[in-house]
Amino acid sequence: MSRSAILSLAFCLMLASVVSAQDWARKMFNVTSHDFGTVARGADAIYEFDLQNIYEEDVHVTAVRSSCGCTTPSIKSKDLKTWEKGAIVCKFNTDSFLGEKSATVTVTIDKPYYAEVQLNVRGHIRGDVVFQPGAVKLGSVDQGEPSSAKVNVAYAGGSNWQILDVRSDNPHLSVEMSEPMRGAGRIAYDLTVKLKDDAPVGYIQDHLTLVTNDGRNPNITLPVEGKVAPAVTVSPAALALGELSQGETVEKKLIVRAKKPFKITSIKCDNKSYQFAQPSDEAKLLHFIPITYTAGGKSGNQMQKIVIETDIAGGASGETIATVNVKDTEVTVNE
């Protein structure tokens, strides 16, 4: 084999090794590209690329960089153990850039092996439309409670510009729009965005689509941010019962809290090995629930969800996960 052929083969093997090295890291990301669409100047355009360590070894994200100043990346969690989740947060700098912009964000990982993963973001930043504030900020609201926030949409351009519709894929959001205010070459709308009281617990990272009569760029994205906090909390959230032999009994206590007085309407548990004291009929901010568990049935590690329902907001509930290790019954053989 000639020297050039040997070098060519070595290069191909090295290239294949590099590609393979990138593949293991890329598999931790479900999504590697995001289009912000058309956004207004000053909009809070932020996207999180979720990643999860799907390997046995610890993963360390050491650095992140962007090919364009239009995007500022950051690392949400640098160290990830097995199955732990993190994110690469990309902020589209709509306050200092205009027009079509795109960036390649390079994520550098140095443990357990060195690898680089490239993420791509793009979008169109309009200079003639401004949001104040830059997103619908609903804040933190308790489950079952409604919330609302206002955003002013200002347009500087033609006098015939209109918002025709405001759309959302989130059924828990509704929007009220004021009549346009026109004057001095400026058009403005006030949007009132309401979060319905049936919104589920969790973070809200969504957007509204403003449909306009602009034939070139009819749709504008308005970010929506917020958090629905549980109306009811159960402590501990993970109830450890320890290691028990068959027939052995252990007693524990759950604490159920809320911000306003409530009654416990039911306790749901599919395992009859768990017995619960009758809840108080009195509406209180704090309830104590004694639990008695008697080991039985299958041996080994077991998990059981316990759901506590209340009369708050038509049935808001809290839950805990009970874990126990049931040992096999030892059999003594007489000789």
The model's pLDDT over 37-81, given as tens digits with 9 standing for 90+, comes to 999 998 999 999 999 999 999 999 999 999 999 999 999 999 999
Contact 143/319 with Cβ under 8 angstroms? no
Contact 224/207 with Cβ under 8 angstroms? yes
7-21, 59-73, 81-95, 134-148: least confidently modelled range: 7-21
Please tell me the predicted confidence (pLDDT) of residue 142.
85
Q: Which amino acid is at 218?
A: P
Q: Which residues 6+ apart lie within 8 Å of 248 measured at CB?
A: 294, 295
The string over 174-199, giving b where at least 16 C-beta atoms fall within 10 Å of a residue's C-beta and e elsewhere, is ebeeeeeeeeeeebbbebebbbebeb
CA distance linking residue 157 with residue 164, whole number of Å: 17
φ, ψ of residue 31 in degrees (nearest 5): -130, 135
Contact 225/136 with Cβ under 8 angstroms? yes
**Both tokens of residue 147?**
């919330």
Please state the separation of Cα 226 from the chain's center in Å.
11
Flag whether pLDDT at 166 surpasses 70: yes
Q: Which residues 6+ apart lie within 8 Å of 225 measured at CB?
A: 44, 135, 136, 137, 138, 204, 205
Report, as an integer, the average pLDDT of 169-197.
Answer: 92
Flag whether pLDDT at 1 surpasses 70: no
Using CB atoms within 10 Å of the CB of residue 333, give its burial: 0 to 12 exposed, 13 to 18 middle, 19+ buried.
exposed
pTM: 0.68
